[in-house]
Structure 1
Amino acid sequence: MYNVLLTGSTGFVGQHLIPELKDDYVLSYINRSDNGYPNQHIANIDADSDYTRALKEINVVIHCAARVHIMAEKSESPLDEFRAVNTQGTLNLATQAARAGVKRFIFVSTIKVNGESTTGRAPFNEQESAPEDPYGISKAEAEQQLLVLGKQTGMEIVIIRPPLIYGKGVKANFASLMSLVNKGFPLPFRAINKNKRSLVSVYNLVDLIKLCIIHPNAVNQVFLVSDDHDLSTAEMIQLMAKVQGRSNLALPVPPTLFSLAGSLLGKKQVVDRLIGSLQVDITYTKNTLNWAPPYSVEDGFKFSAKN
């Protein structure tokens, strides 16, 4: 039985991973504070922490912990803050893992490594890297350094780039939209029906991570992941209404009005995420690993509605 070390165990993905792994693997954890887990090691993900005890007899590291998007960023240098955890912290953990004899290091990255939008272009693929924000840049730099480390040490590197992750217990915009639809608010999104966005339910992401623990073809690869069923904003609202047994009361406000409002209010990037496209091509992932998402996008929305 493999010994697996998980970081970010109290995060959204980590909490869904644990029940799927605990029966097949001996699990250990790195957490910032005591959360009552067995085999727990208290440490920060940074350039200075010593993970020697945590890495003893570990075969596989699944690295989910990260500094993610901060809504009210107060740092004078956000990129430095993101790099401290996502780049330098990741490399420190991976370097010590290689030294300890860890066979495989699975890094949960982000589609932001590819960029922010596919409006007017083909879906992203796994060979591209054009990050635009500090979070994406820090993750891209970590990916590059991990692949170099893998070549130098022989430790197997697996990189997974998910787009928006959702499921039971999700927070932020997805949860807010689901709640508004459930309360019967008439959202102005019916006419936003030409864009396409890739999503991934946490259930499909967890299934892929589990496969990457053991699959021989995953070695030193970058994989994109999604539910393999992209939705427009209007379709997303319609499906949220369907799984909650509500009428779709969305109003047909033209996307051009959103663009105008975004320009006037200085919220262009926010509006672009609402009316624009962000698609990923998971053909390489499916073919390389002989994998397909086991849960449909409707399944994922149904599970999310059970919050």
Structure 2
Amino acid sequence: MNLCEQTLFISGISGFIGLRTAELAIARGMKVRGLARSAEKAKQAQKLGAEVMIGNVTDPTTAYKACQGVDIVLHTAGIVQESGSLKHFREVNVGGTVNMAKAAKSAGVKIFTHLSSAMVYGFNYPDGITEDGPLRGENNPFCQTKIEAEEALLQLHAPPGFGIIIIRPGDVYGSGSIPWIVRPLLMMQQKLFALINDGRGVINHLYIDNLIDGIFLAIEKEAHGEIFNITDGQQTSWREYFTRLAEMANLPVPYSLPKDEAKLLLRVREQGQKLFRKKPDLLPETVDFLSRPYAYSIAKAQNMLNFQPKIDLEEGMRRTQEWLQITDIQKLMS
């Protein structure tokens, strides 16, 4: 499929991934529409030239209107946090995904591309895990609902008229990334950030533009019914990544804590914040996300899509540093 002049709809267009995808899609000559939760959040995408609707992915009427006259849907909207109410996660991450897919199918959309997560493999997985799994919910609402959404979506797969593509990205960083750039830096500034188990294990980092390259390749190849792991394909330790991040912001390298001790400290902190009716800023479950041991395999994307990450960690961090120099990251968390 030639992407030029195709109409792409992006749910969650105002988010980190949605906004950059809109920018790069418009640069390719695509027509871009999107869905944002508020008029305020829609402004940046509108400035790029995207047409933006206001609404929620869980609303059938909104979803149906959004998909009219669209060729491709990229579904990025969802709850992305370490923990919370399973019911709420399910409502948005599963219900919202299925709602968007059903609307797309009835509107005659050709390809529905779903942004899942490599967290479907959980926290304890074999080295070089492929798309075949195993999948592990780990009693974590994010992991569990990403698995459930994939399973529900594939039941709607009906090629050639309606093709489902599932992308499982690793840890997406770059200009605007809250979990892998902004929040760690703010925690480091407050001396609240620690390396877990001396930073052993592997961060499966993925520069934002590399992710979008992978998404576009999968759509161009019309890889209907396929699932792809997408990362930068580098074996980078947690220590190396967060040391680079700290140095980039002229901050000291974070200290190290054993995993169990870090969880206990965060649990105590969470209870204290709840006592004073504050929303916890760091959850004990965060430790599990920051101590995964191994790399995911991207061999399938390399072989089927000819996916080759163009931007390595050094270049990705350089671009991110340029953005940090002109951005007040405190405002991004308000």
Instruction: Give the TM-score, by structure 1 length.
Output: 0.83
1:107 aligns to what? 114
Change beyond 3 A, Cα 1:96–1:260: closer
Asked if 1:160 corresponds to 2:167, the answer is yes
CA contact (8 A) 1:170 1:304 kept: no
Q: In structure 2, which of residues 56, 69, 73 is the aligned counterpart of residue 44 of structure 1?
A: 56
Which shows bigger deviation, 226-235 or 271-280? 271-280
1:85 aligns to what? 92
Correspondence 1:276-287 to 2 at 5 A: 276-287=292-303
Asked if 1:62 corresponds to 2:66, the answer is no
Which shows bigger deviation, 271-280 or 17-26? 271-280
Change beyond 3 A, Cα 1:95–1:115: same
1:126 aligns to what? 131
Cα distance in 1 for partners of 2:287, 2:68 equals 47
Q: In structure 2, which of residues 146, 152, 158 is the aligned counterpart of residue 151 of structure 1?
A: 158
CA contact (8 A) 1:47 1:88 kept: no
Aligned partner of 2:86: which letter?
L
- For 1:227, what is the secondary structure of its paired residue? coil
Asked if 1:213 corresponds to 2:219, the answer is yes
Asked if 1:11 corresponds to 2:15, the answer is yes
Cα distance in 1 for partners of 2:318, 2:245 equals 8
Q: CA deviation at 1:47?
A: 5.3
Cα distance in 1 for partners of 2:62, 2:254 equals 52
Q: CA deviation at 1:87?
A: 1.1
Q: CA deviation at 1:93?
A: 1.4
Instruction: Write out per-residue CA displacement over residues 77-122 of structure 1, whole angstroms, 9 at most, x where no aligned residue.
Output: x22211211111211211121111111001011112121233xx32
2:234 aligns to what? 229
Change beyond 3 A, Cα 1:84–1:162: same
Cα distance in 1 for partners of 2:82, 2:247 equals 32
The alignment covers a number of residue pairs equal to 294
Correspondence 1:192-203 to 2 at 5 A: 192=198, 194-203=200-209
CA contact (8 A) 1:113 1:131 kept: yes
Structure 2: give runs of 5+ residues left out of the alignment.
268-282, 325-334
- For 2:236, what is the secondary structure of its paired residue? coil
- For 1:228, what is the secondary structure of its paired residue? coil
RMSD (CA atoms): 2.9
Cα distance in 1 for partners of 2:211, 2:127 equals 23
CA contact (8 A) 2:59 2:99 kept: yes
- For 1:192, what is the secondary structure of its paired residue? helix
Change beyond 3 A, Cα 1:303–1:179: farther
Q: In structure 1, which of residues 268, 279, 295 is the aligned counterpart of residue 311 of structure 2?
A: 295
Cα distance in 1 for partners of 2:228, 2:317 equals 23
- For 1:150, what is the secondary structure of its paired residue? coil
2:263 aligns to what? 262
- For 1:220, what is the secondary structure of its paired residue? coil
* Identical pairs, percent: 26
Instruction: Write out per-residue CA displacement over residues 29-70 of structure 1, whole angstroms, 9 at most, x where no aligned residue.
Output: 122223243532232111533433322221100111112226
CA contact (8 A) 1:60 1:104 kept: yes
Cα distance in 2 for partners of 1:273, 1:96 equals 33
CA contact (8 A) 1:103 1:155 kept: yes
Q: CA deviation at 1:178?
A: 3.9
Change beyond 3 A, Cα 1:175–1:247: closer
CA contact (8 A) 2:8 2:33 kept: yes
Structure 1: give runs of 5+ residues left out of the alignment.
none
CA contact (8 A) 2:207 2:232 kept: yes
- For 1:136, what is the secondary structure of its paired residue? helix
Q: In structure 2, which of residues 110, 116, 123 is the aligned counterpart of residue 116 of structure 1?
A: 123
Which shows bigger deviation, 163-172 or 99-108? 163-172
CA contact (8 A) 1:184 1:247 kept: no
Change beyond 3 A, Cα 1:4–1:269: closer
Q: CA deviation at 1:250?
A: 5.3
